[in-house]
Amino acid sequence: MTPDNELDNPEAQDGAIEHEDDIDWHEIIDTTEADYRRRRFVFNSADCATEEEVTTSLHAWIHSIFEEETEHDDRDASMHAKG
């Protein structure tokens, strides 16, 4: 039987994982699988009542990550500038 999706095939998964610009997907899976199995999600659309609320909440969450990283980069640049 041929899998409907190439990634349903374990042999194809390993090949797909290794072509991802040095992203260690196995490490990501190892460090997040327990939380996923316990249904502890960082963002859970089930918490939202409507599709619009999902979109708004997801956008706000992604924006907060961007802001946090921008502040982190600014602090690093400031520290490097001071010598």
**20-74 residue pLDDT tens:** 578 888 988 888 888 878 777 777 888 899 999 999 999 998 998 899 889 877 7
Q: Is the dihedral of CA 67, 60, 22, 37 positive or negative?
A: positive
Better-scored residue on pLDDT, 82 or 5: 82
Confidence at residue 45, expressed as pLDDT on a 0 to 100 scale: 86
d(CA 22, CA 9): 22
Amino acid in position 75: R
**Tokens 């072509």 belong to which residue?**
19
Alpha-carbon distance of 39 to 45, in angstroms, equals: 12
pLDDT, position 53: 95
